[in-house]
């Protein structure tokens, strides 16, 4: 393998599968070296070997559980120890959970907020000053179509993704003229293991099917490369988001609840 000293680096969280894996492929295809972050060290090693072999780039693995409050700072220290400059920070790691909030497992909700919100914000805060000093950098935060409307029976997950979009938009405005851009990627239903973990495989919207993770990642990379504020991949998802502006907040909330309702959700006669 021929190594290039001036090749840019992308750090991708949640890189062992799904959208994160495909985002890693997109960055590798476009000439980035990679720092791959996820809990599963063995799977990360497989991904690194695959991408190095296919795209002639360098991929290092940084196993970390970002639902652990100590993990973001430890991850940042490891990149410093390796003298690794991060040109693109991809905050993709996250998960969802469904069910009535009153009956939820609090520890799962806490971990979800830690991963989807706190770790994303902390990693951004840690890596941003170096980007500002160099006057260049790209940040991609993965939100969701759930960023645009409350989601009953996934109320904490939906709120975390609303936070991601609001944070990304506000930070982007702060960074105008600095050489650093922030892009929010807001996919809809995607063919990954997300629905299985979130227990939404039987939700109406999920049963309609969704985009491939590769298509979502391609849209996200293209938006980041162009410095766009946000991207909602897929015409059907964009149509759905546009239609939300036509209804009242109550109507939109009821509709999103129905679309994500599962046979075991409250209010469906089950």
Write down the catalytic residue from 27, 127, 148, 157. Answer: 157
Judge whether 21 counts as a catalytic residue. Answer: no
Q: Report d(CA 74, CA 95) in Å as an integer.
A: 21
Q: φ and ψ at 161, to 5 degrees? A: -75, -30
Instruction: Please state, as a whole number, how many other Cβ atoms lie within 10 Å of the Cβ of residue 153.
Output: 25
Coil, helix or strand at residue 239 = helix
Q: Which residues of 130-148 are buried (b: 16+ CB within 10 A; e: fewer)?
A: ebeeeeebbbbbbbbbbbb
137 beta partners: 180
Apex 40 CA angle, 119 and 211, nearest 5: 75
Residues identified as active-site: 157
């Amino acid at each position: 393998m021929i190594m290039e000293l001036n090749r840019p680096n992308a750090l991708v969280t949640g890189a062992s599968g799904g959208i994160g894996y495909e985002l890693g492929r997109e960055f590798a295809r476009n000439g980035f070296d990679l720092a791959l972050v996820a809990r599963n060290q063995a799977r990360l090693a497989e991904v690194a070997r695959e991408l190095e072999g296919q795209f002639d780039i360098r991929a290092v693995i940084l196993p970390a559980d970002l639902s652990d409050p100590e993990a973001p700072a430890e991850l940042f220290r490891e990149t410093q120890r390796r003298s690794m400059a991060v040109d693109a920070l991809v905050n993709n790691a996250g998960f969802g959970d469904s069910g009535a909030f009153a009956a939820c497992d609090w520890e799962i909700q806490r971990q979800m907020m830690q991963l989807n919100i706190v770790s994303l914000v902390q990693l951004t805060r840690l890596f941003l000053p170096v980007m500002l000093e160099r006057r260049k950098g790209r940040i991609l935060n993965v939100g969701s179509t759930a960023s645009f409307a409350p989601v009953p029976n996934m109320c904490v997950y939906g709120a975390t993704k609303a936070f991601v979009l609001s944070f990304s938009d506000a930070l982007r405005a702060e960074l105008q003229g600095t050489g650093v851009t922030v892009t929010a990627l807001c996919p809809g239903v995607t063919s990954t293991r997300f629905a299985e973990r979130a227990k939404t495989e039987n939700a109406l919207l999920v049963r309609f099917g969704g985009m491939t993770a590769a298509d979502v990642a391609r849209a996200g990379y293209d938006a980041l490369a162009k410095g766009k504020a946000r991207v909602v991949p897929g015409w059907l998802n964009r149509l759905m988001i546009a239609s939300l502006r036509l209804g009242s907040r109550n109507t939109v909330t009821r509709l999103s609840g129905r679309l994500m309702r599962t046979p075991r959700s409250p209010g469906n006669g089950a």
